[in-house]
C-alpha cells in the first residue's frame, strides 16, 4: 500500500510497541472508542508491570547506540518522521478526530504542532553544546559536557494526545535519549501507538522508542518509580501531576521531573481594546476542542467601561457556533472525551446557576456533546472563577479598572497562559509582564504553542519548560570533566 492510499484505519494497531510490536501481558484490555457515538476503534491487551520492566530494559540497552550515532543520522530520522506525517496527513487528522473527539480545525492544528516539534527536534543533535572553563589549578582544563540523560519516561494526556506526546518524545530523541511512552487510556492510539508506526517507518533503531498502554491503577506508579528512567515528563492535571512528582522525587530512585499541569487562563479586555478582535479571541480561545485545553480561556475579565458591550457581542458570537458530531466539518464544538468529563462539566454548569451567575448563553446536553454555555457577572467566590473548567463553559467577570483586572487575573493558584487586549501595545506589554504566568500574549489568544519558543507555567501549573533551547536543557544533563597535568603535590 502506498502512502497516497493510506487511510486512518490503516494506522490502527492493537499491539504494544516494546522492542517491536507485541501483545501486552496484562489480564485486562482497554477498548478505545469514538466519544461521539461509542463506535469501537480498537481493543488492546494492556501492559503489565513486567511489560514496563521489559520496555525500560530494552530502552536502556538501545539508548547507548542511539546516542553514539552521528548527529546527522539522528536528525535525519526525526526529519523522516515529520515527512511521514506530512505524506499521511489526511489519515492522521482523521484518526485524531475519530479517537479524541476533535473537530477538523483542532485536529489539523494538532498535526501541525507535532510536525513542528519533530522539525525543531531534528536541529537538536547539532545544537547541544558544552563549555570549557578556566581552573584555579595550574595547567588544568575544566570541560563541561552536555549529554543525554539516558532513558526518559513520558506520560501524555488525552486532550492533545498526538501533539503532546510528540512534544516530549521528539526532543528527548533529538537529545540522544531513549523513550518509554505511556499514553492516556482514552487515546492510546493517537497518543501512543501511532508514534510507533511513524518512527518505525522513519528508521528509528528498534528499542529506542517503546510504548506501553496500561491503566494508571496497574502500572502508573511502577512506571514513574522505576529505576531506569532519569526523567519523567508528565502532561496532565495538577492533582495527578503532584502525585507523579512525589513518587519520582521522593521514591527510592530520585529523578528529574518535567510537569505541564492545569491552568486557569485569564483573557483580559481593557477599555481601549478592539472589541471585534477581543470577542474573536475569546471565542476561539475558549471553545477550540470544547475547551479541553490547559491553555483554554477559563476566565474573561473585562474592564467596566466596555463590559456590557463585550457581553453582548460575545453572546451573539457564541450563539452562532455549531455543535455536534466532530466528523461533520461544520462542527466547532464536538463531544467531551468521556462520561467522567461530561459529569464534571455539567456539574459546573449547575453550580454556576446555583451560585447566581447570569446565564447568557445555554443549550442542550446531547450524549457527550455540551452546547456552549456562557455566564456573566461571575465573581471570585464562584467555582467558575476558581477552578479549571475543561469544557465549553466560561464565565465573564467585571473589573473596576486596569489595576483591578490585574488583581483578578492573578487571583488563582495556576499560572500557565494568559492574554490581554488593548490598542496600546506598550500598555499591553506592561500589563502582560505583571501577570503571574509562564506565558502571556498581547492581542492574541491564550492558546499558543511554537516549537522554538519556551512553553511552561508558574505556580501550580507545573515545573520545567518545553520547546527549543529549553527542551535541550530539560532532556540533557551536564557533566564536569576536569583534566589536570598530573603534577600536583598533595599534602597527604
Question: What residues are annotated to the active site?
Answer: 260
Helix, strand, or coil here: 129?
coil
Q: Taking the chain, what is the end-to-end CA distance rounded to the nearest angstrom? A: 73
Write the DSSP assignment of 220-269 as a string of letters: IHHHHH-SS-SEEEEES-HHHHHHHHHHHHHSSS--EEEEE----EEEEE
H or E element, residue 459: strand 458-459
Q: Which of 152, 420, 394 is nearest to 278 (CA)?
A: 420
Helices (H) and strands (E) in the chain, counts: 15, 24
Beta strands 141-148 and 476-483, pairing class: antiparallel
| Spatial contact of 315 and 359, defined as CB atoms under 8 Å apart | no
Measured on CA atoms in the order 328, 101, 202, 24, is the torsion positive or negative? negative
| Spatial contact of 179 and 154, defined as CB atoms under 8 Å apart | yes
| Spatial contact of 435 and 410, defined as CB atoms under 8 Å apart | yes
> What is the distance between the alpha carbons of residues 432 and 133, in angstroms, rounded to a whole number?
38
| Spatial contact of 389 and 375, defined as CB atoms under 8 Å apart | no
CA 385 to chain centre: 23
The count of other CB atoms within 10 Å of the CB of residue 97 is 26
> What is the distance between the alpha carbons of residues 241 and 258, in angstroms, rounded to a whole number?
9
> What is the distance between the alpha carbons of residues 430 and 409, in angstroms, rounded to a whole number?
14
Helix, strand, or coil here: 365?
strand
Q: Which three cell numbers stand for residue 133?
A: 572553563
> What is the distance between the alpha carbons of residues 488 and 59, in angstroms, rounded to a whole number?
42
> What is the distance between the alpha carbons of residues 103 and 328, in angstroms, rounded to a whole number?
8
| Spatial contact of 477 and 146, defined as CB atoms under 8 Å apart | yes
Amino acid at each position: 500500500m502506498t502512502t497516497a492510499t493510506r487511510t486512518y484505519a490503516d494506522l490502527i494497531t492493537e499491539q504494544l510497541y516494546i522492542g517491536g510490536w507485541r501483545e501486552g501481558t496484562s489480564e485486562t484490555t482497554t477498548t478505545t472508542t469514538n466519544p461521539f457515538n461509542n463506535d469501537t476503534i480498537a481493543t488492546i491487551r494492556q501492559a503489565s508491570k513486567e511489560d514496563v520492566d521489559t520496555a525500560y530494559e530494552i530502552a536502556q540497552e538501545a539508548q547507548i547506540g542511539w546516542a553514539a550515532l552521528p548527529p546527522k543520522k539522528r536528525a535525519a530520522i526525526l526529519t523522516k518522521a515529520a515527512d511521514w506525517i506530512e505524506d499521511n496527513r489526511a489519515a492522521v487528522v482523521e484518526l485524531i478526530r475519530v479517537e479524541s473527539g476533535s473537530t477538523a480545525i483542532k485536529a489539523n492544528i494538532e498535526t501541525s504542532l507535532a510536525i513542528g516539534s519533530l522539525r525543531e527536534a531534528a536541529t537538536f543533535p547539532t545544537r547541544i553544546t558544552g563549555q570549557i572553563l578556566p581552573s584555579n589549578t595550574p595547567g588544568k582544563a575544566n570541560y563541561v559536557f552536555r549529554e543525554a540523560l539516558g532513558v526518559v519516561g513520558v506520560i501524555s494526556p488525552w486532550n492533545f494526545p498526538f501533539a503532546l506526546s510528540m512534544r516530549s518524545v521528539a526532543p528527548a530523541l533529538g537529545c540522544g535519549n531513549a523513550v518509554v511512552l505511556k499514553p492516556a487510556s482514552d487515546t492510546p492510539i493517537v497518543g501512543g501507538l501511532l508514534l510507533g508506526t511513524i518512527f518505525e517507518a522513519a528508521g528509528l533503531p528498534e528499542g529506542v522508542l517503546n510504548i506501553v498502554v496500561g491503566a494508571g491503577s496497574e502500572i502508573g506508579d511502577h512506571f514513574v518509580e522505576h529505576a531506569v528512567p532519569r526523567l519523567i515528563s508528565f502532561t496532565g492535571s495538577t492533582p495527578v501531576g503532584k502525585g507523579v512528582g512525589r513518587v519520582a522525587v521522593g521514591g527510592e530512585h530520585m529523578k528529574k521531573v518535567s510537569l505541564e499541569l492545569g491552568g486557569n487562563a485569564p483573557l483580559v479586555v481593557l477599555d481601549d481594546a478592539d472589541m471585534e478582535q477581543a470577542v474573536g479571541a475569546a471565542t476561539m480561545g475558549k471553545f477550540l476542542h470544547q475547551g479541553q485545553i490547559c491553555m483554554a480561556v477559563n476566565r474573561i475579565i473585562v474592564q467596566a467601561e466596555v463590559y456590557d458591550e463585550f457581553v453582548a457581542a460575545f453572546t451573539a458570537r457564541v450563539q452562532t457556533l455549531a455543535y455536534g458530531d466532530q466528523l461533520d466539518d461544520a462542527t466547532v464544538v464536538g463531544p467531551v472525551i468521556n462520561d467522567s468529563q461530561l459529569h464534571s462539566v455539567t456539574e459546573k454548569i449547575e453550580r454556576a446557576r446555583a451560585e447566581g451567575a447570569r446565564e447568557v448563553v445555554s443549550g442542550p446536553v446531547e450524549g457527550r456533546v455540551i452546547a456552549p454555555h456562557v455566564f456573566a457577572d461571575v465573581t471570585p467566590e464562584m467555582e467558575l472563577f476558581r477552578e479549571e473548567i475543561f469544557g465549553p463553559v466560561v464565565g465573564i467577570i467585571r473589573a473596576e479598572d486596569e489595576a483591578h483586572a490585574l488583581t483578578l487575573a492573578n487571583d488563582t493558584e495556576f499560572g500557565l497562559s494568559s492574554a490581554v487586549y488593548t490598542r496600546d501595545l506598550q500598555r499591553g506589554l506592561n500589563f502582560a509582564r505583571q501577570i503571574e504566568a509562564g506565558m502571556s500574549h498581547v492581542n492574541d489568544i491564550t492558546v499558543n504553542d511554537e516549537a522554538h519558543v519556551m512553553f511552561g507555567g508558574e505556580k501550580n501549573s507545573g515545573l520545567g519548560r518545553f520547546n527549543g533551547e529549553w527542551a535541550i536543557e530539560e532532556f540533557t544533563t551536564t557533566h564536569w570533566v576536569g583534566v589536570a597535568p598530573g603534577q600536583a603535590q598533595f599534602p597527604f
